[in-house]
Amino acid sequence: MNMIKNFWRWVNETSLVKLILVGIILGILLAVFIPQWAASISILGTLFVNALKAVAPVLVFVLVMAALATKRAGASSNMRPILVLYVVSTFVASLTAVAASFLFPTILQLQVTDAQLAPPTNIIEVIRTVVLNIVDNPVHALLNANYIGILAWASVMGIALRQANDTTKQLISDFAQVITQLVQWVLRFAPIGIFGLVASTIAESGFGALIGYVKLLAVLLGCFFFIALVMNPLIAFVKMRINPYPLVLTTLRESGLYAFFTRSSAANIPVNMNLCQKLGLDEDTYSVSIPLGATINMSGAAITIAVLTLSAVHTLDIPVDFATAFLLCVISAVGACGASGVAGGSLLLIPLACSLFGISNDIAMQVVGVGFIIGVLQDSCETALNSSSDVLFTAVAEFAERRKEGRL
């Protein structure tokens, strides 16, 4: 009995990242040494993926509605350039991810049937499907995981709820917290689900599946580093007209490093506030821009959504024209803004992007499962990029203004 209590205490006190890593290692060992058992425990992975499928539509609907309903009006004018930098960086990140995915296409091991595929033939059909999904019945959209319809109805209802009294807004906010807690409970079972997914995948497909994961992770990490060390400095230089690298490296070292281990932009807000103070920035500005950035500045999430979605597209051999790829960039950038506040939030928005290509929710959730397998590194690097760029662009906007006024 004491052994069970000690084990349970260890599970509760150990971080989710370490537990997922343990699950991956145990899954590989089981598949190598007892493959006949590995195939039979695929039920663990199936249960985990199905739990995600159950909670994801409600999560997107409630979080988007709550965010819009409780949004504060009347942001100060000095926030405008920071918001523009946030948006530009996120869109550039999604463009980079789409380009990298076409240059280095990755194939995943997915269970697919012909009935699950309904790929669009051209951009007109894509737009028609998007428009029809937007006006879908909201209950039908939730039941059938129509994420475009869910996003549309949540946005409309959130905007309408801005006129509601504070008690109603607080109720919506509390309900969002409840759904977030449900997701966190589901994610606590991620190590067991990942254990089942890894073991069954290797038992059925061999180590070729792991090689595919390594290539996918390489594309993701390459995009993260390219944005952090090339594109973000370029954006900063265009705005400030001075060498951006001392500032870039400072934000990566003093913000990104912390965020890498916390894996939470929200948890890194105090670190970013302290760094802004050390940089001598205006407190009235960064006290708003840093929490706001933790919510909407999600270039790392845009990369994750685009790369994993196009991996599914390449796996299913779905043709993609330029217009559809550009639309994916927009959806990735917009969808990334809804990824904050939830561990693995960017992964849970992949079905939204997959629906653009007619990929079913069942297949999309398999892609989400792959994301959790590589999430030990992917989520940490994604959060480090997101959080460090919050400070970077807050500082860039203020330094650019000082340069114009001759104070820099």
Q: Decide: pTM greater than 0.85.
A: no
What's the pLDDT tens digit per position in 332-380?
887 776 555 455 567 877 887 888 888 888 888 888 888 888 876 888 7
Report CA 79 to chain centroid distance, whole Å.
24
Do 125 and 318 form a contact (C-beta atoms < 8 A)?
no
CB atoms within 10 A of CB 311: 25
User: CATH classification of 32-404, choosing from 1.10.3860.10, 3.40.50.2020, 3.90.780.10, 1.10.1060.10?
Assistant: 1.10.3860.10
For the cut 70, the answer to whether the pLDDT of residue 272 exceeds it is yes
The domain locations on the chain are 32-404
Q: What is the pLDDT of residue 121?
A: 47
Q: Which residues contact 171 (CB under 8 A, 6 or more apart)?
A: none
Burial class (CB in 10 A: 0-12, 13-18, 19+), 246: exposed
Specify the range with the lowest mean pLDDT, choosing from 58-62, 74-78, 146-150, 172-176: 74-78
Query: By percentage, how much of the chain surpasses pLDDT 70?
Result: 83
Q: What is the pLDDT of residue 4?
A: 67
CA neighbor of 90 nearest in space, from 259, 293, 379, 354: 293
**Element of type H or E holding 9:** helix 2-13
Instruction: Give the separation between CA 153 and CA 137, rounded to whole angstroms.
Output: 9
For the cut 60, the answer to whether the pLDDT of residue 203 exceeds it is yes
For the cut 50, the answer to whether the pLDDT of residue 74 exceeds it is no
For the cut 50, the answer to whether the pLDDT of residue 75 exceeds it is no
Q: Which residues contact 338 (CB under 8 A, 6 or more apart)?
A: 60, 63, 64, 67, 151, 345, 349
Specify the length of the chain in residues.
408
Q: How does residue 209 score in pLDDT terms, banded at 50, 70 and 90?
A: low
3-state secondary structure 300-329: HHHHHHHHHHHHHHHHCCCCCCHHHHHHHH
Instruction: Give the separation between CA 300 and CA 380, rounded to whole angstroms.
Output: 10
Specify the range with the lowest mean pLDDT, choosing from 59-63, 125-129, 384-388: 125-129
The residue type at 50: N
